[in-house]
Amino acid sequence: MTKYYKSSIHSFYPDIQKTSITKIMSEDLIRKEIETNKNEYIEFLRRLIQTESYNPPGNEKNVAIVIEDYLKNQNINFEVFPFEENRANVLIYLKSKFNDKNLLYNAHMDVVPPGNEEDWKYPPLSAYLKRKKLIFGRGSSDMKAALAAMVISLKILKKLNLKLSGNLIVNAVADEETGGKLGTKWCLENVLKTKNIKSNFIIVGEPSGLAPLPKAIIIGEKGHLLLKIITHGKSAHSMVPDMGINAIYMMSKIIENLSSLDNFIPNIEPPFSLIELKNLVSSAFPSNEIFEKIFDEQPLLQNFLASLTKFTKSLNVINGGIKGNIIPDHCEAIMDFRLLPGQSSKIILEGLKKLITHIGFKVKELSEDIDIDSFVSIEVYEEGAASVWKDYENSDEIKEFKKIVEDIYGKKSFFALAPGSTDSHYYRNSGYCLKTIHFGPGKAADMHAINESIEIEDFLNSILVYTLFAYQFLK
């Protein structure tokens, strides 16, 4: 076989350098390998989807066992880091040494719970295969397809035994759906940094399809902060209302003043203006005119791009009161803040405390032992930092990656920001590796949705993208 390629390439392209011939041959081998084994890859993905790893509680160890079984007898380095009852992180790598360039692929093994299973057309753990085109199931898009594709890309490079100078690492992590502290963050601090493994480029496999737009390459993301604000008043019978302090009225005063929160936090410029974002997206369209026409007709796209340029807040849950004739002493509200790169949760939290103090309430920790009739406490209940790789334009690696994506998917791609945070921020913000992008099979609209599915073509394309890029990067 090898001989045949060599002679045919030589006779067709007599002036091609030997290195290019090796490159064309190797790429050809990779494409043929994927074409030959695609049924095996689809079955591996289906097995991953059928393996329960709902988080909470996690159960990612179930997934780790399936991956280990898939890679057995391949002479691939596989390390498991178990924790809690049935959870684990996994590090898989091509070569045993890390002395040259390293490329890191990150995929999470946990998935969000399915909600009401009755609402699903096909059971969430069925991995139902529809017309050889789609696979349904929880985690099919977010993100067992990318997890499978990344593991498969490593297996292919090992099997083909191509000459590579660097190392490919796949970090399959736990805990992403609940913040990533026990997954990506733990692996970064306790495995990668401890073993002194540096990464020169990182791909996080979160779905990057922004249909109806073509596939995006994400270079930064907004952060989020979910807060619970609790007003503590004084209970009394409502026939003598002046005896009590109404916690709902306190909350209502806070809500009235929320719009002035911006006066209490430092002003920050977005990483890209709306015009710059529009230019990034329009580069994937045949012409600017066509893009402008679509943009004008699509309120979703307009709002999506606008949201990437500003700090936003939304009050989404409110609870208070116990009975029609009792002055409530307790009211709580849950707020969702979306942060721009450069804005930390701490800045928002401090701004909010200043605002509440400014309107006349005392802010106090629940644990603080001060005897006062009424006060406000704030609990952080979920957070994910914003991050961006601002200088991406000067990287040849990302240009090469975009070229591969466009070649495989047969469409122009574009760089963009994501509206929500992924594990990428741990790599970018810690200074471990700023060159972190997120790219993966699946559509953002499918994430956490009922009847989540993945297109098989998208999945197979992503295997090709990850494998060809790793080959290019490490050869």
Spatial distance between the Cα atoms of 471 and 279, rounded to a whole number of angstroms? 31
User: What is the size of the binding site for Zn ion (CB under 5 A)?
Assistant: 3
Angle at 91 between CA 90 and CA 97, to 5 degrees: 160
Taking the complex as a whole, the smallest distance from the CB of residue 472 to Zn ion amounts, in Å, to: 26
CA angle 116, 120, 122 (to 5 degrees): 135
Pairing of strands 102-108, 201-204: parallel
Structure tokens at 473: 């990067």
Active site residue 110: yes
Draw the binding track, 206-225, toward Zn ion (x: CB under 5 A; -: no contact).
Answer: x-------------------
Contact between 444 and Zn ion by CB under 5 A: the answer reads no
Structure tokens belonging to residue 354: 């200043």
Instruction: Please identify which of the residues 110, 142, 383, 446 carries the catalytic annotation.
Output: 110
Query: Interface with Zn ion by CB under 5 A: which range of 82-90, 132-140, 152-160, 204-212?
Result: 204-212
DSSP label of 309: T
* Residue closer to Zn ion (CB basis): 89 or 282: 89
Instruction: Kindly list the distances between the CA atom of residue 272 and the CA atoms of 208, 224, 308, 400, in Å, as whole numbers in the listed order.
Output: 19, 18, 8, 23
Q: Which of 176, 177, 221, 458 is catalytic?
A: 176
Stretch that binds Zn ion, among 23-31, 200-208, 259-267, 334-342 (CB under 5 A): 200-208
**Which residues between 104 and 143 bind Zn ion (CB under 5 A)?**
142-143
| Binding span for Zn ion by CB under 5 A among 167-175, 205-213, 279-287, 302-310 | 205-213
Q: Which amino acid is at 420?
A: G
Q: Which is nearer to Zn ion, 180 or 233 (CB)?
A: 180
Q: Is 446 left (phi over 0), alpha (psi -120 to 50) or beta?
A: alpha
Instruction: Tell me how many degrees the CA angle 160-161-167 measures, rounded to the nearest 5.
Output: 115
φ, ψ of residue 89 to 5 degrees: the values are -110, 155
Q: Tell me which residues in 46-65 interact with Zn ion (CB under 5 A).
A: none
Closer residue to Zn ion in complex, CB, 124/320:
124
What residues form DSSP beta bridges with 223? Answer: 339
Question: Which residues have C-beta within 8 Å of that of residue 266, sequence separation ≥ 6?
Answer: 347
Tokens of 327: 């002055």
CB of 466 to Zn ion, least distance (A): 16
CB of 176 to Zn ion, least distance (A): 6
Closest CB 108 distance from Zn ion, rounded Å: 6
Q: Is the CB of 138 or the CB of 338 nearer to Zn ion?
A: 138
Tell me which H or E stretch contains 319: strand 312-320
Nearer CB in complex with Zn ion: 143/248: 143
Q: 437 vs 259, 333, 398, CA distance in Å?
A: 34, 35, 9
Please give the residue whose beta carbon sits closest to Zn ion in the complex: 142
- Of the two residues 452 and 455, which places its CB atom closer to Zn ion in the complex? 452
Reference 474, options 173, 199, 219, 76; nearest CA is: 199
Question: Cis (ω within 30 of 0) for the bond into 143?
Answer: yes
d(CA 261, CA 263): 5
Could you tell me the two tokens for 285? 């369209």
Q: Is 373 a catalytic residue?
A: no
The distance of closest approach from Cβ of residue 143 to Zn ion in the complex, given in angstroms and rounded to an integer, is: 4
Output the smallest distance, CB 198 to Zn ion, in A: 25
Quote the least distance from Cβ 175 to Zn ion, whole Å: 11
- The span from the CA of 71 to the CA of 146, in Å, is 16
Directed axis angle between helix 145-160 and helix 60-70, to 10°?
Answer: 30
Considering only 202-210, 216-224, 237-245, 352-360, which stretch makes contact with Zn ion by CB under 5 A?
202-210
DSSP code of residue 233: -
Binding to Zn ion (CB under 5 A): which residues in 138-167? 142-143
Segment 353-382, which members bind Zn ion (CB under 5 A)? none
Query: Given the complex with Zn ion, which of 167 and 422 has the nearer CB atom?
Result: 422
Stretch that binds Zn ion, among 113-121, 199-207, 234-242, 350-358 (CB under 5 A): 199-207
Give the 3-state secondary structure of 434-454. CCEEECCCCEHHHCCCCCCEE
Q: Which is nearer to Zn ion, 282 or 424 (CB)?
A: 424
Minimum distance, C-beta of residue 142 to Zn ion, in the bound complex (Å): 4
CB of 348 to Zn ion, least distance (A): 24
* φ, ψ at 64 (rounded to 5°): -60, -40
Give Cα separations from 69 to 42, 76, 109, 429, 469 (angstroms): 16, 12, 15, 34, 25
**Chain contacts with Zn ion (rule: CB under 5 A):** 142-143, 206
Q: Which residues are tagged catalytic?
A: 110, 176
